[in-house]
Amino acid sequence: MNTPEPNFQRILLVDDDLVVRAQVSESLAQDGFEVILAKNGDDGIAAYQEHRPDLILVDAVMPILDGFEFCEQLKNLGERLTPILMITSLDDNESVDRAFASGATDYITKPINLSILRQRVRNLIRQSHLIKNQLNELQQANQNLKSLVNLDSLTKLSNRRGFDDYIQKEWDRMRRIKAPLSLIMCDVDFFKNYNDRYLHPNGDLCLIEVAMAMRNTVRRSGDLVARYGGEEFAIVLPNTDALGAVSVAENVRTAIKNLQIVHEASSVCPHVTISVGVSTIIPTAENDFQALIHAADRALYQAKSQGRDRVTMLVA
């Protein structure tokens, strides 16, 4: 006994001939397939939608809805991957061309040689299995590529593109549920001086440590930490009010200071510190997330103007 490919065990047989349905289903059952029966094209469409078979056998000539029309309707439903083996007593070139044009993958003529049928079925299912695996691998590769496109190569945080996509998505979501959206903008104090004193490779290491500390401090799954540009970072806090955002900002500022990265070129502290601007808004249809960014930027400017190494809050 032959065993069907794993995960491909269900076959839909659409044929108006009771004898054919009985013979074919019995033969395929010997290979371990579950066979779903339909006596015409309309019933076949309904059975397809209910059971989502791994392969379809359909008679070309049937009342109500023939095999060609059945295939066309499947295409209209968006079906492209399920292999279709058309059973036909028509073997002229025109009928064969019509079968393939309507969406059939292969065909077999009547009277049906059951041994040949079973071999065709196994081959089609095996091919379908390989194609679906390849498509899954391609989709995964595309997803990985998308992740890389939105990832900062140095810090492994989201980059500016990832930030823009995420804050737009969360803006729309918070607007729908009428909930607050908060944004934290952080800037490493006197980072140019740090690079000048310790050189750029050490500057990169400093940014990596700062990024890791931020990521370890901002722990909710729905929050996003991003490298906004250069030594500037952004933290998106969905469904977070002003008080909660300021608390997160203070925790982040403290975490960075506690790293105790030596910074002898800083005017405010012998270690690396950050200035932080915070803003909160309940999104509406009358504004967009740029208003939130501008408010957080102004708050960050105030934090720098007031002496750095501090958190400043502004309402958007």
Given this model, what pLDDT does residue 243 score?
Answer: 96
Given this model, what pLDDT does residue 80 score?
Answer: 72
**pLDDT level of residue 142 (50, 70, 90 thresholds):** confident
Whether 7 shows a pLDDT value over 60: the answer reads no
Given this model, what pLDDT does residue 131 score?
Answer: 81
Asked whether residue 87 falls in the same domain as residue 179, the answer is: no
| Residues assigned a catalytic role | 231
Higher pLDDT, 228 or 137: 228
Asked whether residue 98 falls in the same domain as residue 206, the answer is: no
Asked whether residue 175 falls in the same domain as residue 241, the answer is: yes
Asked whether residue 138 falls in the same domain as residue 208, the answer is: no
Last-in-domain residue among 145, 175, 206: 145
Beta strands in the chain (DSSP E): 10-14, 34-38, 55-59, 84-88, 106-109, 181-188, 224-229, 232-238, 274-281, 311-315
Asked whether residue 198 falls in the same domain as residue 123, the answer is: no
Q: Would you give the distance in Å from CA 61 to the centre of its chain? A: 42
Asked whether residue 40 falls in the same domain as residue 99, the answer is: yes
Task: Indicate the number of domains in the chain.
Answer: 2
Residue 4 lies in a domain: no
Residue 115 lies in a domain: yes
Residues 244, 234: Cα–Cα separation, whole Å: 16
Residues 229, 233: Cα–Cα separation, whole Å: 7
Whether 312 shows a pLDDT value over 70: the answer reads yes
The strand pairing partners of 109, in sequence order, are 88
Asked whether residue 125 falls in the same domain as residue 187, the answer is: no
Asked whether residue 75 falls in the same domain as residue 114, the answer is: yes
Residue 44 lies in a domain: yes
Residue 150 lies in a domain: no
Last-in-domain residue among 118, 145, 172: 145
CATH number of residue 309's parent domain: 3.30.70.270
Asked whether residue 232 falls in the same domain as residue 121, the answer is: no
**pLDDT level of residue 3 (50, 70, 90 thresholds):** very low
Q: Which of 4-13, 133-142, 180-189 bottoms out in mean pLDDT, i.e. has the lowest? A: 4-13
Average pLDDT taken over every residue of the chain = 91
DSSP state of 133: H
Place of tokens 């059945």: 70
Span 179-185, mean pLDDT? 98
CATH number of residue 90's parent domain: 3.40.50.2300
Given this model, what pLDDT does residue 5 score?
Answer: 46
Place of tokens 């800083």: 266
pLDDT 10s digits, 186-230: 999 999 999 999 999 999 999 999 999 999 999 999 999 999 999
Given this model, what pLDDT does residue 114 score?
Answer: 92
**pLDDT level of residue 148 (50, 70, 90 thresholds):** low
Asked whether residue 75 falls in the same domain as residue 46, the answer is: yes
Higher pLDDT, 316 or 240: 240
Asked whether residue 250 falls in the same domain as residue 199, the answer is: yes
Task: Name, in order, each residue with C-beta under 8 angstroms of 140's C-beta and a sequence gap of 6 or more.
Answer: none
Asked whether residue 302 falls in the same domain as residue 165, the answer is: yes
Last-in-domain residue among 145, 177, 192: 145
Are the C-beta atoms of 273 and 265 separated by less than 8 Å?
no
Residue 240 lies in a domain: yes
Residue 5 lies in a domain: no
Higher pLDDT, 234 or 77: 234
Given this model, what pLDDT does residue 55 score?
Answer: 93
Which range marks the domain in which residue 129 is found?
Answer: 10-145
Which of 85-94, 99-108, 145-154 tops mean pLDDT? 99-108
Residue 40 lies in a domain: yes
Residue 154 lies in a domain: no
Span 240-260, mean pLDDT? 97
